[in-house]
Amino acid sequence: MFVKRIAFCALILAGCTPATESLPMKAAAQHDGGVLAQKCEGRDGWSDPAPPAHIYGNVFMVGTCGITVLLITSKQGHILIDGATQDAAASIAENIRNLGFKLSDVKYLLSSHEHLDHVGGLAELKRLTGAQMIARPQAVASLETGRSDHTDPQKDVLPPFIGIRVDRTIMDGELVKLGRIHVKALATPGHSPGGTSWTWKSCEEGKCFQFVYADSLSAVSAQMYKFTKNPEYVATLRNTIQKIGSFTPCDILVTPHPSQSQFFQRLSGKETLVNPNGCRNYAIAAANRLNTRLTEEVSR
């Protein structure tokens, strides 16, 4: 009788376990990356709605067909990285809900770089979630005013966005901690002055991989801007490319634009999701594009 009672109590206690503990795996089973890839085939607009998808462990893609937005989940709350455009905020919020998570459980907002296609939706997402915005000091002014820094190569072509109040600044190498989530900030200026990459470890069934959300490394500018006339900015971008290229471990590379890292192909299984050379290959391609851009400017 005593043994039966213990077993009965164990069943009752198991039934009382908070539902949020099993949500990540339930969400993972219901949101396959192949569906996302199929829905976004031929569509890469910054605001094009996309279904949410499980990446690995406690990490989910909740962005659009053209812009990556990541949700890192834990029992103590969640972290959202990037917010796509203002028009995409509603679909991002819907994706979070469709995964079974509460918007109010999103505790921190982070960003890659301060351009409207990646942070334009953060003000609305902050309103919906009540989360704190964390950013490097170099990104604060642009994030809060909604305007690009005067040193940004794209400042003359990027439309403004709705500014978002930054609640806390973070330095290179510092951690954002939330429960078991430890996300490290990596200062990676170049594509924008406040560019930031993020890295953390996620596990699934006892197997852990290091994520690197590497910021854009492309040398994009307004038509009249010349990188050859801004050697200090080029040096900054080269240092960032080298930093990303040498970062290790880099098991699962994710980038702000899915196409930059063949993200959808990897989610659908057409290419390998886990690739220890992902950061290195990403940096090599970026360095080659930068060299091509500099050569073209000289030859004009």
What pLDDT does residue 31 have? 79
What pLDDT does residue 10 have? 38
269 within domain boundaries = yes
What pLDDT does residue 243 have? 99
2 within domain boundaries = no
3 within domain boundaries = no
Backbone angles phi, psi at 54, to 5 degrees: -80, 135
147 within domain boundaries = yes
Question: How many distinct structural domains can be found in the chain?
Answer: 1
16 within domain boundaries = no
Closest listed residue to residue 121, CA positions, set 179, 49, 189, 201: 49
pTM of the entire predicted model: 0.91
What pLDDT does residue 166 have? 99
Q: What's the CA gap between 93 and 83, in Å, rounded?
A: 10
Instruction: Give the range of the structural domain holding residue 68, as residue numbers without chain letter.
Output: 22-299
CATH of the domain at 84: 3.60.15.10
Edge-to-edge order in the sheet of strand 196-204: 175-178, 181-187, 196-204, 207-213, 252-254
40 within domain boundaries = yes
Closest listed residue to residue 59, CA positions, set 17, 10, 24, 91: 24
Task: Write out the chain's pLDDT in tens, 300 residues.
Answer: 333 333 333 333 333 333 333 456 666 656 788 999 999 999 999 999 999 999 999 999 999 999 999 999 999 999 999 999 999 999 999 999 999 999 999 999 999 999 999 999 999 999 999 999 999 999 999 999 999 999 999 999 999 999 999 999 999 999 999 999 999 999 999 999 999 999 999 999 999 999 999 999 999 999 999 999 999 999 999 999 999 999 999 999 999 999 999 999 999 999 999 999 999 999 999 999 999 999 999 987
37 within domain boundaries = yes
14 within domain boundaries = no
